[in-house]
Amino acid sequence: MTDNAGEGKRDRAIPGQPDMWVLVLFEALVFTAYFAVYLYHRSADSELFLRSQAQLRPLFGTLDTLLLLTSSLFMLRCAQTARAGAHRTAMTSAYITAFLGVAFLISKITEWIMLVRGGHGFSSNDFFMYYFFLTGIHLLHLLIGFIAIGVIVYQLRGPARRSQELVETCAVYWHTVDLLWVLIFSLLYVVR
Amino acid sequence: MNTQPNRRPLIILLILSAITLGYLALDRSADSQGTFRASSVVTTIAILLALVKVRFIFREFMQVRNAPALLCRLTDLWVLIIGAALLGSYFSGLAVH
Amino acid sequence: MRRADGELILFWTLPALAVLWISAFFLFPGFVHPMSPSMTAAQVADFYRDPAKLSRIRYSMILFNWFGVGLVPMLTLLVMQIKRMAHRTPILSYCLLGCIAGGPTVFLIADLFWLLAAFAPGRDPQLTVLLNDLAWMTFTTAVPFLIGQSLIIALAIYLDRPDRPVFRRWVAHFNVVIAAALVPAAFTGLALSGPMAWNGLLPFWLKNLAIAAWIVVMSIVLGRNIYRQRAEGSARPVTEQTVAA
Amino acid sequence: MSWRNNSKRELWLAWYSMIAFYNIFVIVFFVLTHAQPPPYPYWSDAQVVFWFSHNRGGLLTGFAIMFALAGLTLPANALIAYSIRRMSVSRAFAYSYLVIYSLAALPGMLLLCVVLSVGAMRPDRDPVLIHWLYDFAFLSYVGTMGIFLIGSLVWMLAILLDKNRVLPKWFGYLNLCNALTEVVVSPAWIFHRGVLDWNGLISWWLNMVVFGIYTSAFIMLLRNMIQREDFGDGPLPTHQLAGTAR
What confidence tens digit (pLDDT) does each residue in D119-168 have?
Answer: 999 999 999 999 999 999 999 998 888 889 999 999 999 999 999 999 99
- pLDDT tens string C113-154: 999 999 999 999 999 999 999 999 999 998 999 999 999 999
Backbone φ and ψ for D236, nearest 5 degrees, come out as -65, 150
Asked whether residue A23 is assigned to any structural domain, the reply reads: no
Question: Residue B47 and residue A187: Cβ atoms within 8 Å?
Answer: yes
Question: What confidence score (pLDDT) does residue A11 get?
Answer: 52
User: CB within 8 A of C189, min separation 6: which ones?
Assistant: C137, C141, D60, D63, D64, D117, D118, D120, D121
Question: Residue D121 and residue C130: Cβ atoms within 8 Å?
Answer: no
Asked whether residue A105 is assigned to any structural domain, the reply reads: yes
pLDDT band per the 50, 70, 90 thresholds, residue C233: confident
φ/ψ region of D243 (left if φ > 0, alpha if ψ in -120 to 50, else beta) reads left
User: CB within 8 A of C54, min separation 6: which ones?
Assistant: C48, C118, C121
Q: Which residue of D has its CA nearest to C146?
A: D71
Question: What confidence score (pLDDT) does residue C101 get?
Answer: 87
As a whole-number percent, the residues of chain C with pLDDT over 90 amount to: 75
Asked whether residue A46 is assigned to any structural domain, the reply reads: no
Among the residue ranges A43-47, A184-188, C235-239, D111-115, the one predicted with the least confidence is C235-239
Task: Write down how long chain A is.
Answer: 192
Question: Residue B42 and residue A191: Cβ atoms within 8 Å?
Answer: yes
Strand partners, B35: B32
- Quote the Cα angle for B86-B89-B92, to 5°: 140
Domain count of the fold of chain A: 1
Q: Kindly calculate the radius of gyration of chain B based on its CA atoms and give it in whole angstroms.
A: 17
Contacts made by residues B3-12, CB under 8 angstroms, sequence distance 24+: B4/A6, B5/A80, B6/A77, B6/A80, B8/B60, B9/A73, B9/A76, B9/A77, B9/B60, B9/B61, B10/A73, B12/A73, B12/B56, B12/B60, B12/B61
Q: Is the pLDDT of residue D2 over 90?
A: no
Q: How far apart are CA C142 and CA C116, in angstroms?
A: 19
- Do A146 and A22 meet the contact criterion of CB atoms below 8 Å apart? no
DSSP state of C87: -
Q: Which has more pLDDT, D228 or A8?
A: D228
DSSP state of B68: -
Write out chain D residues lying below 8 Å of C94, CB-based.
77-78, 81-82, 98
Question: Which of A13, A40, A69 has the CB atom closest to B92's CB atom?
Answer: A40
User: CB within 8 A of B73, min separation 6: which ones?
Assistant: none
- Do D179 and D149 meet the contact criterion of CB atoms below 8 Å apart? yes
Question: Residue D85 and residue C105: Cβ atoms within 8 Å?
Answer: no
- Do D117 and D133 meet the contact criterion of CB atoms below 8 Å apart? no
- Do D40 and D241 meet the contact criterion of CB atoms below 8 Å apart? no
Closest CA to D173 of C178, C107, A28: A28
Question: What confidence score (pLDDT) does residue D243 get?
Answer: 38
* Exposed / middle / buried, residue B72 (Cβ in 10 Å: 0-12, 13-18, 19+): middle
Residue spans of alpha helices (H) in chain B: 4-30, 40-56, 69-96
Question: Residue D10 and residue C229: Cβ atoms within 8 Å?
Answer: no
Asked whether residue A88 is assigned to any structural domain, the reply reads: yes
Sign of torsion over alpha carbons C72, C203, D60, C121: negative
The three-state secondary structure class of C102 is helix
Question: What confidence score (pLDDT) does residue D48 get?
Answer: 95
Q: Is the pLDDT of residue B4 over 90?
A: no
Question: What confidence score (pLDDT) does residue C203 get?
Answer: 92
Q: What residue type is A18 in one-letter code?
A: P
Q: Does A154 touch chain D if contact means CB atoms closer than 8 Å?
A: no
- Smallest CA–CA distance, residue A186 to chain B, in Å, is 6
Cα end-to-end distance, chain A, whole Å: 41
Centroid of chain to Cα A160: 30
Question: Chains C and D: how many Cβ contacts under 8 Å?
Answer: 179
- pLDDT tens string D166-218: 999 999 999 999 999 999 999 999 999 889 999 999 999 999 999 999 999 99
Question: Residue D187 and residue A17: Cβ atoms within 8 Å?
Answer: no
Q: What residue type is C78 in one-letter code?
A: L
Average pLDDT of the segment spanning D33-50: 93
Q: Does B69 touch chain A if contact means CB atoms closer than 8 Å?
A: yes
Task: Write down how long chain B is.
Answer: 97
Average pLDDT of the segment spanning B27-44: 79
Backbone φ and ψ for C97, nearest 5 degrees, come out as -60, -40
- pLDDT tens string C82-104: 998 988 889 999 999 999 988 89
Question: What confidence score (pLDDT) does residue D245 get?
Answer: 31
Q: How far apart are CA D160 and CA D158, in angstroms?
A: 6
- Quote the Cα angle for C195-C196-C197, to 5°: 95
Q: What residue type is C122 in one-letter code?
A: G
Mean pLDDT by 10 residues, chain A (192 residues): 42 84 95 95 88 89 94 93 90 95 96 93 92 96 96 88 88 95 93 86
Q: How far apart are CA D83 and CA D159, in angstroms?
A: 9
Question: Residue D170 and residue A18: Cβ atoms within 8 Å?
Answer: yes
Q: Does A19 touch chain D if contact means CB atoms closer than 8 Å?
A: yes
Cα end-to-end distance, chain D, whole Å: 25
Domain that holds residue A177: 59-190
- Do A31 and A183 meet the contact criterion of CB atoms below 8 Å apart? yes
- pLDDT tens string C26-58: 999 989 889 999 999 999 999 999 998 999 999
Question: What confidence score (pLDDT) does residue D4 get?
Answer: 64
Question: Chains A and B: how many Cβ contacts under 8 Å?
Answer: 154
Question: What confidence score (pLDDT) does residue C1 get?
Answer: 40
Q: Does A133 touch chain D if contact means CB atoms closer than 8 Å?
A: yes
pTM as predicted: 0.90
Average pLDDT of the segment spanning B2-23: 80
Question: Residue B82 and residue A44: Cβ atoms within 8 Å?
Answer: no
Q: Is the pLDDT of residue C7 over 60?
A: yes
Choose the mutation target among C91, C160, C188 for the interface with D, i.e. most D CBs under 10 Å.
Answer: C91
Centroid of chain to Cα C86: 26
Q: Does C98 touch chain D if contact means CB atoms closer than 8 Å?
A: yes
- Smallest CA–CA distance, residue D60 to chain A, in Å, is 36
**C3 CB neighbour count, 10 Å cutoff:** 11
- Do C102 and D106 meet the contact criterion of CB atoms below 8 Å apart? yes
Q: Does A147 touch chain D if contact means CB atoms closer than 8 Å?
A: no
Q: Does D193 touch chain A if contact means CB atoms closer than 8 Å?
A: no
- Do C94 and C59 meet the contact criterion of CB atoms below 8 Å apart? no
Q: Per-domain residue ranges for chain C?
A: 2-236
Question: Which of C101, C133, C152 has the CB atom closest to D102's CB atom?
Answer: C101
Q: What is the mean pLDDT of chain D?
A: 89
Q: How far apart are CA C132 and CA C139, in angstroms?
A: 10
ipTM value for the complex = 0.89
Q: How far apart are CA A33 and CA B58, in angstroms?
A: 19
Question: Residue A129 and residue D191: Cβ atoms within 8 Å?
Answer: yes
